[in-house]
């Protein structure tokens, strides 16, 4: 899904990751934040991945959410080609149920940070919330929506 006004780029290595990564999109929809969804692999399509990362800021993207399983190279590769904030979501697509992806994302070398969420759907949802919080520092309308959603969460029984 392409949106030329997207503030968030949601990226994953395979179409099969969409079931989990749509949780990020669902959260961004609640906040009214525009996004784009891209499938590109650090291993299978490295030139495309590099081009995405290098051009993200020029295209208006302000934050990247990258979901990855197995070796989970995608978030780190993207972070190495941009200074935009990158939020990594470990996916449970390997026999190790995402623990390998978690370690891969969380253990980035100093100077190339990637924020790391929990494994799976809750991690993908939290990536959307964190992206909103980061954008809320710049956009008052997002900050106001965050406050409204938090109040509604507090009232839930």
Tokens standing for residue 12? 């994953």
Mean pLDDT of the chain: 95
Side-chain-facing half-sphere of 117: CA atoms under 13 Å: 31
- Of 70, 63, 80, whose CA–CA distance to 10 is shortest? 63
pLDDT confidence bin for 4, thresholds 50/70/90: low
Q: What is the pLDDT of residues 17-76, one digit of tens each?
A: 999 999 999 999 999 999 999 999 999 999 999 999 999 999 999 999 999 999 889 999
Question: What's the pLDDT at 105?
Answer: 95
- Residue 60: the pLDDT is 96
* Confidence grade of residue 98 (pLDDT, cut at 50, 70, 90): very high
Give the model's pLDDT for residue 5.
Answer: 82
What's the pLDDT score for residue 71?
A: 83
Would you say residue 1 has pLDDT above 80?
A: no
pLDDT at 156: 84
User: What local confidence, expressed as pLDDT, does residue 142 receive?
Assistant: 97
Q: What percent of the chain has pLDDT over 90?
A: 90
pLDDT band at 124 (very low <50, low <70, confident <90, very high): very high
- Spatial CB neighbours of 20, under 8 Å, sequence gap ≥ 6: 67, 89, 91, 120, 121, 124
Answer whether 0.85 is exceeded by the pTM: yes
């Amino acid at each position: 899904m392409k949106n030329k006004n997207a503030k968030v780029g949601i990226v994953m290595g395979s179409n099969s990751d969409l079931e989990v990564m749509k949780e990020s999109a669902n959260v961004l929809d609640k906040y009214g934040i525009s996004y784009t969804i891209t499938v590109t692999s650090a291993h299978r399509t490295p030139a495309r991945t590099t081009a995405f990362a290098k051009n993200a800021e020029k295209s208006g993207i302000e934050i990247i959410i990258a979901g990855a399983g197995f070796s989970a190279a995608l978030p780190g590769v993207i972070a190495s080609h941009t200074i935009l904030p990158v939020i990594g979501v470990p996916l449970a697509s390997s026999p190790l149920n995402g623990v390998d992806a978690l370690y891969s994302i969380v253990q980035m070398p100093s100077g190339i940070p990637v924020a790391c969420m929990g494994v799976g759907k809750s991690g993908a949802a939290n990536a959307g919330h964190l992206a909103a919080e980061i954008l809320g520092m710049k956009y008052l309308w997002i900050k106001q929506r965050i406050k409204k959603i938090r109040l509604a969460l507090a009232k839930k029984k």
